[in-house]
Amino acid sequence: MQSLGRHVLAEVYGCQFEVLNDIKKVEELMINAALEAGAEIREFVFHKFSPQGVSGVVVISESHLAIHTWPELGYAAVDVFTCGDKVNPWDACNYLADMFGAEYVNASEVKRGIMDCQEERLVVNI
């Protein structure tokens, strides 16, 4: 497969309620995480839920960072997808875990890309 990008999916546990429930703080940290990884920011949008929680996305030239928070559980689902080799998605994830005061992170990386015609394909019909 020709790799076009790296997609890190992170489950971030034991985070500080006050941080995960503050839309301005989450927005600031997500933007800083993109910059920390070396990305070029294009746009961003965030939404505060009632009674708690924040969701948002930072669109970068290299793809995106997304987050959904459950402050009452101290949990955040973080998604960092970067294309090319100049931006490291792990830098963004590690930065966010540190800034959220996370106790534990379970993360995995998926290589995104185009399959070679010779590769076996899994087709899922829905």
Q: Which of 7, 15, 63, 64 is catalytic?
A: 63
Domains of the chain: 2-114 (3.60.90.10)
Please provide residue 80's backbone torsions phi and psi, each rounded to the nearest 5 degrees: -130, 115
Give the H/E segment covering residue 56.
Answer: strand 54-60
Tell me the H-state helices in 9-119.
Answer: 17-20, 23-36, 89-100
Q: Which of 7, 15, 64, 83 is catalytic?
A: 83
Assess whether 68 carries a catalytic annotation.
yes
Confidence (pTM): 0.88
Assess whether 83 carries a catalytic annotation.
yes
Paired tokens of 80:
């960092």
How would you write the pLDDT of the chain (126 residues) with one tens digit per residue? 678 899 999 999 999 999 999 999 999 999 999 999 999 999 999 999 999 999 999 999 999 999 999 999 999 999 999 998 899 999 999 999 999 999 999 999 999 987 665 555 555 666
Paired tokens of 77:
């689902």
Q: Which of 68, 93, 108, 117 is catalytic?
A: 68
Cα separation, 41 vs 38, whole angstroms: 10
